[in-house]
Amino acid sequence: MNKIEGVILDWAGTTVDFGCFAPVNVFVDIFKNAGIDVTMEEARAPMGMLKIDHIRTMLSMPRISALWEEKLGRIFNEQDVKNLYAEFEPALMASLSEYTDPIPKVIETVEVLRNQGLKIGSTTGYTNLMMDVVVPNALKKGYSPDCYITPDETNSLGRPYPYMIYRNMELLKLSASWKVVKVGDTISDIKEGVHAGVWSIGVIIGSSEMGLSFDEFNSLSESDKEAVTFKVEHSFMQNGADFTIKTMSELPELIERINGLISEGKRPNAR
């Protein structure tokens, strides 16, 4: 049948860890330990990538790169990337279990989708070792997809490469990319979906792209909520998203809409 068969969800900032805070603070800390102050915006910009790629991308940013050269008297090299990552991984692992609470509406939405016969896959920028902490802790709290793929299983080719999505499709026996929806909360999530040829959807509230905690978001005035929501939506659409949703609860209805588009012969990323 010509309709959506499976949904592939990101983890931190999409299904667990509202605001995607687990990795951000660690990125800031490891650079601070190296004598370089990075901003939260800089730490978040590559979010969704494999974490060592994330560090490499941060070091390549002109401002951080210049500070590194000033501090060390040379441009950064691959050993610097490895040294920072060696500090990053144990620091993240130490706190990761605290950042596994499902985001509001996720558990209920996944149940609705499963009841409609959809398969639920997932991709992540975390490694297998990190997911050994995240997966069982999320399960205890009620969230569990049918499968998950990390960049460890795609020769470390994480986002924005499409390969983790393809591995999900293989495991879940999904028949065509245009019958698959990918939902994520970062630009690299959007690009992963676009590159895979699936319907690429950005979720706004709780996203790393928004970068606010649950309390911070809820303390905003209605007009400020609208402004920040519009900003994130614009960012996702500029980077190739087919659609955005404010929260996961909008996903089942959007999938119905996509099914209608498919029946009209429409395909993803056709703008």
- pLDDT (tens digit, 9 = 90+) per residue, 154-198? 999 999 999 999 999 999 999 999 999 999 999 999 999 999 999
Provide the CATH topology of domain 6-20+100-263.
Rossmann fold (3.40.50)
Do the beta carbons of residue 54 and residue 124 sit within 8 Å? Answer: no
Whole-number Å distance between alpha carbons of 14 and 21: 12
Give the confidence band of 1 by pLDDT, cuts at 50, 70, 90: confident
Count CB atoms within 10 A of the CB of residue 31.
23
Q: Which of 187, 196, 155, 143 is nearest to 11 (CA)?
A: 143
Report percent pLDDT > 70 for the chain.
99
Q: 91: annotated binding-site residue?
A: no
pLDDT band at 215 (very low <50, low <70, confident <90, very high): very high
Each residue's pLDDT tens digit, 100-124: 999 999 999 999 999 999 999 999 9
What pLDDT is recorded for position 10? 98
Q: Domain locations in the chain?
A: 6-20+100-263, 23-98
Q: Tell me the average pLDDT across 246-258.
A: 98
Q: What is the mean pLDDT of residues 247-255?
A: 98
Question: pLDDT value at position 68?
Answer: 97
The pLDDT of residue 203 is 98
List pLDDT tens digits, range 42-94.
999 999 999 999 999 999 999 999 999 999 999 999 999 999 999 999 999 99
Q: Please tell me the predicted confidence (pLDDT) of residue 270.
A: 61
- Is 236 strand, coil or helix? helix
8-state DSSP, 153: G
Q: If you average pLDDT over residues 126-132, what whole number do you get? A: 97
Name the residue with tokens 């730490």. Answer: 43
Cis peptide before 160 (omega within 30 of 0): yes
Mean pLDDT over residues 250-256, rounded? Answer: 98
Marked catalytic residue, from 17, 29, 37, 51: 51
Q: Give percent of the chain with pLDDT exceeding 90.
A: 98
Q: Catalytic residue at 51?
A: yes
**Would you say 247 and 196 are in contact if contact means Cβ atoms under 8 Å apart?**
no
> How do strand 180-184 and strand 119-122 relate by DSSP bridges?
unpaired
Annotated ligand binding at 185? The verdict is: yes
* Mean pLDDT over each residue of the chain, to the nearest integer: 97
Supply the pLDDT for residue 269.
83
**Quick one: average pLDDT of 264-269?**
93
pLDDT tens-digit map of 29-42: 999 999 999 999 99
- 225 pLDDT exceeds 60? yes
DSSP 3-state of 213: coil
53 is in an annotated binding site: no
Name the strand (E) or helix (H) holding 202. strand 199-203
Is the domain covering 23-98 a CATH 1.20.140.10 domain?
no
pLDDT at 271 over 70: no
